[in-house]
Amino acid sequence: MTSKIAILAGDGIGPEIIAAAEKVIECLRQDFAFAAELEPAAIGGAGYDQHGQPLPEQTLDICKQADAILFGAIGGPQYDGLAGELRPEKGLLNLRSSLSLFSNLRPAILYPQLASASSLKSELVAGLDIMIVRELTGGIYFGGPRGIREREDGSREGFNTMVYAEHEIERIARSAFDIARLRNRGLCSVDKANVLEVSELWREVVDRVAEDYADVTVSHLYVDNAAMQLVRAPRQFDVIVTGNLFGDILSDTAAMLTGSIGMLPSASLDENGKGMFEPVHGSAPDIAGNNLANPLATILSLAMMLRYSLQQPQLAELIEAAVGAVLDQGLRTADIAAGASSVGTREMGDAVVAAIRAAGGR
């Protein structure tokens, strides 16, 4: 079966890192009989420039028809002045919501070759392998009412609503328990149940779902404590499940523990495992177009796509092993070079392709 992959390069370094991942796809096609059809589409600032919308209708259609979506990055200073609905971020948020991509997997893995890149002492992070499961289509990001309104005294107030329906909590909890089962069977649910009713319900529902997963050890942490534990003793975590806002914040913290946000992939999945795959880092407009960006997070996102949406775990492993191989060879893009000599985006991508070919015997 031919897999249809929507390719959303976006803004900033997006086109460069996506080009590197496309070379990997091309190699899988030629050497490993991977049948894929690529459908490029505009998103974010590029969507606005080409079609006047951060999520153009034709892009949404292409994404709906695709089996999986590979996403680069969005945003840039030239779009900062746009009205809320036209901002590049809105394109990403609308895509997540339109496709019901509620389960966001954000692994934070420390590559042993890069141990010294972490801002924590290497003995605290050696072997780190955490999976953050962030709820992505609900909570305060999407809850209403929301807005900025005038008060009786003529001053203004801004307001948002953090709301989770039971079924939303239940499905993200099940998603996280299923993932914990494939790992070390530890699940920590993060909330703010000492203050927020929405978290009180969250905790209750997670505990109820836990009854179906007796083989998984469940714990609960308040989000402030979880943030502290992440930088105090991060290896205590296996899988963390949390809501949209807490997950946004904790996943950046977890990413930094690895010292190299340029290495981290992510997956956003719907109920049926269809998903969008994107690097955790952003569009880095300051280095865009200079062949400086690290393409490995995007290439590893492609590996997650092969594993989670396209049922090609061997190809996923092949890519992951090739990334390990290029790191072993000493190749580093500037973000992970710690001041030592570095290679460019294209060179890094080509090295991964060469390592895949070498492993495949060609």
Which residues are annotated as catalytic?
141, 192, 224, 248, 252
User: How many chain residues bind Mg ion (CB under 5 A)?
Assistant: 1
Q: What's the closest the beta carbon of residue 122 comes to ligand IPM, in angstroms? A: 26
Shorter beta-carbon distance to ligand IPM: residue 191 or 278: 278
**Per rule CB under 5 A, is residue 335 in the interface with Mg ion?**
no
Q: List b or e across 317-334, with b for residues whose CB sees 16 or more CB atoms inside 10 angstroms.
A: ebbbebbebbbeeebbbb
Closest listed residue to residue 277, CA positions, set 252, 251, 306: 306
**Per rule CB under 5 A, is residue 278 in the interface with Mg ion?**
no
Shorter beta-carbon distance to ligand IPM: residue 22 or 248: 248
Q: What's the closest the beta carbon of residue 38 comes to ligand IPM, in angstroms? A: 23
Q: What's the closest the beta carbon of residue 71 comes to Mg ion, in angstroms? A: 14
Shorter beta-carbon distance to Mg ion: residue 89 or 347: 89
What does 39 interact with, of Mg ion, ligand IPM, none (CB < 5 to 8 A by kind)? none
Residues at the site binding ligand IPM, with contacts judged by CB under 6 A: 89, 92-93, 248
Provide the H-helix boundaries in the chain. 14-32, 44-51, 57-65, 88-98, 122-125, 166-182, 197-210, 223-232, 244-257, 296-308, 313-328, 345-359
If DSSP codes are grouped into helix, strand and coil, which group holds residue 297?
helix
Shorter beta-carbon distance to ligand IPM: residue 93 or 163: 93
Residue 91, Ramachandran bin (φ over 0: left; ψ between -120 and 50: alpha; else beta): alpha
Question: Distance between CA atoms of 99 and 153, rounded to whole angstroms?
Answer: 42
**Per rule CB under 5 A, is residue 248 in the interface with Mg ion?**
yes
Task: Give me the phi and psi of 39, to 5 degrees please.
Answer: -125, 100
Q: What's the closest the beta carbon of residue 278 comes to Mg ion, in angstroms? A: 11
Binding site for Mg ion (CB under 5 A): 248
